[in-house]
Chain A
Amino acid sequence: MRKLLPVETFEAIKPRLKEFKLTFYLLNRNRLTMIAVITVFLLVLIAILAPLIVPYKEHVISGTNPQEKLLPPSQEHLFGTDELGRDIFSRVIYGTRISLETALAAVGLALLIGVPLGAIAGATGGVVDEVIMRITDIFLSFPPLLLAILIAAFLGPSLTNAMLAIAVAWWPWYTRLIRGQAVSMRERQFVRAARAIGTPHFKIVFGHIVPNTIAPVIVQASMDLGGVILTAASLSFLGLGAQPPTPEWGLMVSTSRNYFLNAWWYSIFPGLAIFITVLVFNLVGDGLREVLDPRTRKY
Chain B
Amino acid sequence: MVGYTDSTPLEDFQKRIRIALWFVMICLSILFIRFFWLQVIRHAKYSTASESNRIAIITTPSQRGLIIDRNGIVLARNFPSYSLEVTLAGLSTPVETLVEALNEVVKISPKDRANFFRSIQGAKKTESIPIRNFLNDEEVARFLTRRFAFPGVEVQVRYFREYPYQELGSHLLGYTGRVSLKDREKLLAELEDVPDDQMSDDFRPMKIKGIQQVGKIGLEQSYEKELRGTVGYNEVEITAGGRVVRNLSTTPPISGSNLSLAIDIKLQYLIEQLFNNQRGAMVVIEVATGDVLAFVSMPTFNPNAFIDGIDADLWKKLNESLEKPLFNRPLRGTYPPGSTFKPFMALAALEGNFRTPEQGILDPGYFKFGNTVFRDDAKGGHGFVNLRQSITVSCDTYYYILARDMGINAISSFMQTLGFGQVTGIDVNGEVRGILPSKEWKKAYYSDPVKQRWRDGDTISIGIGQGYNSYTILQLAQATAIVANRGVVMRPHLVKIIEDPVTHEKTLTVPKETTRLTLKKENLDAVTEGMIGVNRTGTGQIPFAGVAYPVAGKTGTAQVFSLAGKDYKASNISEFKRDHALYIAFAPADKPKYALALVVENAGFGATSAAPIARKALDYLMLNNWPQGVPPWKTLP
Partners in one complex: no
Please report A residues at the B interface, Cβ cutoff 8 Å.
none
